[in-house]
Each structure stands twice: as structure tokens, then as C-alpha cells.
Amino acid sequence: MTLATLRDVLQPALKDGYAVAGLVTLGWEDMRAYVAAAEAEGVPVILQAGPSCRAHTPLPVLGKMFRHLAEGASVPVVAHLDHGYTFEECKEALEAGFTSLMFDGSRKPLQQNIDETAAIAEMAHAAGISCEGEIGFVGYAGGETSAGTDPAEAAQFARDTGVDAMAISVGNVHLQQDKAGGLDEPRIRAIEALTDVPLVIHGGSGVPMAQRSSLARGSKICKFNIGTELRMAFGQALRAAVSADPAEFDRVTILKQTHDPVVDATRRVLAAFKGV
């Protein structure tokens, strides 16, 4: 069994100069492909259950799916709650067998975000698992606008919450389909100069591959969340499978055809985060 906590996989990444991918899951087909890709690349992987995933599948079921995959995997697998918005939701994930809780209080005033994140970090640590928090606000493509992370506030947040990883807003945007943008490296340098907590980039699909690689190897960014990029790969593979045989109606037969394309796309993502 290779079930791991977030701290288990991020502290070695911080020490040795690489990053770990937090892969946003929507169902069995993609999470299985993600683990297969991680095994092929020989790297750890973080399976993430975000709000849309949880709306489709209950947390207790997701916990069992993640843990089942971890038990059979040859690489470390983290069962991670992504964007938990309440204490109760985080507690439910902990009880469902998750090994990492990401509490998102980024829309709240600074002190409230610190206080609520600290309470969840305390709960997580008492259970022997990890906690990620967010300071600043990472916006959404076509939706809410980002608010960049203030380095001094990031240092205070890291110190007062005791989180194992800290998500920051440095030009990254959720749900971005292209890689035309890039991250604000001077802001990243200012933040990492004030804290030793591993940093996290949400909305990693919008970050150019070259910048992902350089920051994975040369900064305290130890986790990149990747969702949209792999959802697109799955969607394209599914569309091709359906179009290839309009008479085919069996969902298992159709969904099996997404596996190899998603594994290939995931391997390209994972390879970019490896150390030198």
C-alpha cells in the first residue's frame, strides 16, 4: 500500500527540486489513468476531489476509490480534498479516508481565513494527515477575478495556520484552456523569501510547460494542480470513441478507449515536473 499524505510527497520535492502534480479527478476512468501514468513515470501523484467531482460522487465513495488505487500502486498516492469550503466538509473527507485536506478560505477576510484554516490544520494533524490552505485568491477564466497574494500576508498565513502547503495567487487562473499567460515570478520570489512552506499553483493548466519545469526545479513551488488540460484530453478521446462507431452503445466499451490517450497526456504533464 502506498497511500501517502501531502507532507510525505511535498517535503522531498522541496528538498530535491521537483514538483508533484495534483490531478483533478471527475471519475473512475481518469483517476485510474492518472495512477497508471504516475507508475509509468515513477513519480508520486495527488488525486484530487474538487467540488464538481464531489457533486457527482459522494465523499465516502471517493475515499474508497482513492484508497483502492493507492493500495495497488507502486508509487505514493495522496487522497486529497480540493477546495473544501467548510469545517464539516473537511471533517467528512477525513472520516472518508482522505489523507490531505485543502481548506479554501481565500474569499474571506485575512484573519478569518487564518483562524478557520488553522482549525482545520489542527484537526488534520491530530489525525496524522496533511492540510493545504490558500492565501490571496485564484480567479476563474470567464468568472471571478484573481487577487494576487501579498508576500507579507503569505508569511503570516504560513506561520499562524501551520499548513503543510500554501496555495498562492501569482497570475494563475482556474479553468484556463490555453497556455498564453504565465506566472509572476518576482511575486513568487518575494513570497518564497519569507516562508519555507511548500507552495502550490492552482490553475496549472494555464501555465506554459517551460515555466512549469523551471519553477518545479528552481523554486519552492512543489505542487501544480492540473485539471482542465486533462479534462480536455479525456473529452477528445471520448468524442473520438463515440464517433468511431455510432452503433456502439455500451458505455464500458466506449470508456475503455479513453484510457490510453489520458495516460499519454498525463505522462507529458508529470514528466515536466521531474527533477534534473
Predicted local confidence at residue 144, as pLDDT: 60
Q: What percent of the chain has pLDDT over 90?
A: 81
Q: How far apart are CA 35 and CA 70, in angstroms?
A: 8
Instruction: Give 147's strand partners.
Output: 137
Q: Determine the pLDDT at residue 148.
A: 78
Handedness of CA 157, 163, 164, 166 (dihedral sign): negative
- Catalytic residue, from 8, 16, 30, 82: name it: 82
Identify whether the C-beta of residue 90 lies closer than 8 Å to the C-beta of residue 81: yes
Res 5: pLDDT: 98
Q: What is the pLDDT averaged over residues 121-145?
A: 87
Q: What is the mean pLDDT of residues 226-244?
A: 94
Least confident of 10-24, 26-40, 172-186: 172-186
pLDDT, average across residues 113-138: 95
Q: 36-86, pLDDT tens digit by residue? A: 999 999 999 999 999 999 999 999 999 999 999 999 999 999 999 999 999
pTM: 0.94
pLDDT tens profile 149-186: 899 999 999 999 999 999 998 877 665 655 666 788 99
Q: For residue range 185-206, what is the model confidence (pLDDT) as tens digits?
A: 999 999 999 999 999 999 878 8
Name the average pLDDT for the chain. Answer: 92
- Is it the case that residue 227 has pLDDT exceeding 60? yes
The answer to whether 82 is a known catalytic residue is yes
The 3 state secondary structure assigned to the chain is: CCEECHHHHHHHHHHHCCCEEEEEECCHHHHHHHHHHHHHHCCCEEEEECHHHHHHCCHHHHHHHHHHHHHCCCCCEEEEEEEECCHHHHHHHHHCCCCEEEECCCCCCHHHHHHHHHHHHHHHHHCCCEEEEEECECCECCCCCCECCCHHHHHHHHHHHCCCEEEECCCCCECCCCCCCCCCHHHHHHHHCCCCCCEEECCHHHCCHHHHHHHHHHCCEEEEEECHHHHHHHHHHHHHHHHHCCCCCCHHHHHHCCHHHHHHHHHHHHHCCCCC
Is there a contact between 79 and 112 (Cβ–Cβ < 8 Å)? no
Q: Which residue has the higher pLDDT, 254 or 181?
A: 254
Q: Is the pLDDT reported for residue 146 higher than 70? A: no
Q: Which domains does the chain have, with CATH numbers?
A: 3-271 (3.20.20.70)
